[in-house]
Amino acid sequence: MPQGGNPVEVDVNLPFAGLEYHYIYILLCTFVVFFILPGIGFLYSGLARRKAALSFFFQALMILAVITFQWIFWGYSLTYSRDGGPFIGTLTVFGLRDVGMAPSPGSAVLPELVFCLFQLLFCACTVMIVIGGAFERGKILPSLIFGFFWATIVYCPLARWTWSSQGWLYNLPAIDFAGGGPVHIASGCAALAYAVVLGKRKDHGAPGFRKPHNPTLVFLGTVLIWTGWLGFNGGSTLSASMRALIAIFNTNTAACFGILGWVLVDAIRNKGKFSLVGACEGAIAGLVGITPAAGCVHVWLAACIGFITGVVCSSIQDINEWIRIDEGMDVFKLHGIGGMVGSFLTGIFASESISALDGVSLIPGAIDGNGVQVGKQIAEICAISSYSFVVSAILLYILKYIPGLGLRVDEEAEMLGLDQDQFFDEQVGDWSLAGGMSTTTLVGVSKAPSETKETPIEAKA
């Protein structure tokens, strides 16, 4: 029944009687996932130079607002409508029409509205990751417009392919527990397209142009993302089950081993010296690698996935120079390449004995004798990466040549910094540190002469 029935005439709670713990668990996971958005804001802000750091905090809020509108407008319908085909849904539930307390298309133990909210944050987090491709030179308003349309023509179809029961990758089947394809591979390839279309920064190659302005913010952002990812992967079972517990444990394990893999490569490269930013990137790499496999692999294999992904991503530290782009946030390296590594390893390590912990799923990989699954994972990687890059590039070129819009700030604004060009009377940090001031002012100390009488200290001196 639409919306679960008329609440004036029937008790819409009855289908979930005794099962309330399922949607309470998913709601708690939803609240935790929210931390990913400010976490990405902190991470990107810390990695950027100070003159462009404020913009990422602002975009973390604006992306959530824009994607919330997109999702309830038509995004949810295009992705999860019960009719439609294997590539895209219909507008049957446009504007969340008839979306209410009926059992959801993702899980019969979840009210559809809870399912809709949980999936909304997946979309918002993915778009926020993509925005890293506009690093220090992309205008904010065009990035928000791009985010709205990218979610519509890239994320929604890819999520439909992967997670809808009608999706062609779902029925292939390709294994993607929580978003290795629609979230990570798609966002990494889209960020690569963004960087290619915008071109390199004007001072590309200058001394210090890749130095993070604040490793403290990088650390704080990583902690928030890590926390949010426990809910991201843990809630992807769409029920409170033993499989959710293993997914959370695997997520934390892979992040830790991602750190170990990255730091090991860093220590070899830098002759025993370490990097906090590198350790943070290793954690992100581990989280990316385990996303498609979190609810499908044994704990030690989750550790292997995290470690391997960390080593691979750290070993291609110079990929921007190799392919001659300026993608300063390393979104393609961490999310694109990391997502591909994780999806490939999922095909090898997925085990029925783990997926069956929810009492329903049987998902075998090569380790269970289902070697063909590796080929299906490669098909997913190729399909999602090519679709995301090509469609994103086409969309960006269309926006680039719309009169009066423009994706990139002018040269003067870029050298001055996005924050001073795009915001008024605000910046990251304390005003006493602002560029252009003639003298440095101590916070809380007035520069005006004191009205009190002269003390005899100077005379004694």
pLDDT at position 432? 46
Tell me if 164 sits within 8 A of 170, measured CB to CB.
yes
Sign of the torsion formed by the C-alpha atoms of 83, 87, 93 and 99: positive
Tell me if 162 sits within 8 A of 78, measured CB to CB.
no
Token output for 438: 């003639």
Residue 1 inside a domain? The answer is no
Tell me if 99 sits within 8 A of 110, measured CB to CB.
no
Sign of the torsion formed by the C-alpha atoms of 301, 384, 328 and 136: negative
Residue 423 inside a domain? The answer is no
What is the domain extent for residue 144? 23-201+222-416
pLDDT at position 449? 42
Query: Which residues neighbour 173 within 8 Å (Cβ) at sequence distance 6 or greater?
Result: 363, 376
The whole-angstrom separation of Cα 82 and Cα 15 is: 19
Residue 6 inside a domain? The answer is no
- For each of the chain's 461 residues, which pLDDT tens digit applies? 878 888 899 999 999 999 999 999 999 999 999 999 999 999 999 998 888 888 899 999 999 999 999 999 999 999 999 998 999 999 999 999 999 999 999 999 999 999 999 999 999 999 999 999 988 888 999 999 999 999 999 999 999 999 999 999 999 999 999 999 999 999 999 999 999 999 988 876 666 667 888 999 999 999 999 999 999 999 999 999 999 999 999 999 999 999 999 999 999 998 889 999 999 999 999 999 999 999 999 999 999 999 999 999 999 988 988 998 888 888 999 999 999 999 999 999 999 999 999 999 999 999 999 999 999 999 999 999 999 999 999 999 999 999 988 899 888 888 888 888 888 877 776 554 444 443 333 334 344 443 433 444 333 33
Token output for 195: 């960087």
Residue 447 inside a domain? The answer is no
Residue 442 inside a domain? The answer is no
**pTM: predicted TM-score of the whole model, two decimal places:** 0.91
pLDDT at position 66? 98
pLDDT at position 412? 85
The whole-angstrom separation of Cα 180 and Cα 162 is: 10
Residue 179 inside a domain? The answer is yes
Tell me if 296 sits within 8 A of 239, measured CB to CB.
no
Quote the radius of gyration of the chain (alpha carbons, Å).
24
Residue 455 inside a domain? The answer is no
Query: Which residues neighbour 159 within 8 Å (Cβ) at sequence distance 6 or greater?
Result: 79, 119, 122, 123, 182
CATH of the domain at 340: 1.10.3430.10
Residue 168 inside a domain? The answer is yes
pLDDT at position 294? 97
Query: Which residues neighbour 421 within 8 Å (Cβ) at sequence distance 6 or greater?
Result: 409, 413, 414
pLDDT at position 320? 86
Tell me if 399 sits within 8 A of 145, measured CB to CB.
yes
Torsion angle, CA of 136/139/141/146, rounded to 10 degrees?
A: -80
The whole-angstrom separation of Cα 420 and Cα 412 is: 11
Task: For residue 88, give Cα distances in angstroms to 34, 37, 104, 179, 280.
Answer: 26, 26, 18, 17, 36
- The total number of structural domains that make up the chain: 1
The whole-angstrom separation of Cα 232 and Cα 226 is: 10
Strand partners, 138: 408
For 105-132, letters b (16+ CB in 10 Å) and e give: bbbebbbbbbbbbbbbbbbbbbbbbbbb
